[in-house]
């Protein structure tokens, strides 16, 4: 199992999507970033990529071409009884992504604390309640 959270993603254009996203501790970024597959990007009005910068991401499987939108969406983690604050986030659209991926800096800004990666357990930093992954 992995740590998956329900995110509410609000694009600058006003479209809102809720999706399960994988918290990826290996996705290091200098700013809060969220990688999106093309389908989710399309729902948010971010595909085809207009106004995005083409970038190359280094991945375990080798380099991947992607499109970078700086400070393009507001993201919050949503649980049944609590929500994080909204965080202004860079969006990266990657054709090889099969689910949204949360960067280390985005997880930090959302105040997510991982209790057990293997069992998918997490909590908001301000609470004691341990939560399980969301699908």
9: tokens are: 């993603």
61 vs 68, more confident: 68
Q: Are strands 4-11 and 33-36 parallel, antiparallel or unpaired?
A: unpaired
Query: Quick one: pLDDT at residue 25?
Result: 83
Q: What residue segments make up the domains of the chain, in order of their start?
A: 4-124
Rounded to an integer, what distance in angstroms lies between the CA atom of residue 107 and that of residue 50?
27
In this prediction, residue 1 has a pLDDT band, given cuts at 50, 70 and 90, of: low
pTM comes to: 0.95
Task: Answer whether residue 17 shows pLDDT above 90.
Answer: yes
In this prediction, residue 26 has a pLDDT band, given cuts at 50, 70 and 90, of: confident
Task: Answer whether residue 135 shows pLDDT above 70.
Answer: no
Rounded to an integer, what distance in angstroms lies between the CA atom of residue 37 and that of residue 23?
15
Rounded to an integer, what distance in angstroms lies between the CA atom of residue 94 and that of residue 112?
24
The fold of 4-124 is: Cathepsin D, subunit A; domain 1 (2.40.70)
Count other C-beta atoms under 10 Å from residue 82's C-beta.
13
Integer angstrom CA distances of residue 68 from 53, 57, 86: 5, 10, 20
């Amino acid at each position: 199992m992995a740590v998956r959270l329900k995110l509410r993603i609000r694009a600058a254009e006003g479209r809102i999507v809720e999706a399960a996203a994988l918290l990826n501790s290996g996705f290091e970024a200098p700013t809060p970033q969220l990688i999106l597959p093309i389908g989710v990007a399309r729902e948010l009005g971010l595909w085809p990529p207009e106004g995005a910068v083409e970038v190359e991401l280094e991945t375990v499987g080798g380099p991947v071409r992607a499109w970078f939108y700086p400070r393009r969406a507001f993201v919050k983690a949503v649980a049944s009884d609590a929500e994080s604050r909204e965080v202004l986030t860079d969006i990266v659209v990657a054709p090889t992504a099969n689910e949204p991926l949360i960067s280390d800096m985005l997880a930090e800004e959302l105040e997510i604390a991982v209790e057990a990666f293997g069992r998918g357990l997490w909590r908001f930093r301000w609470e004691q309640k341990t939560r399980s992954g969301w699908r």
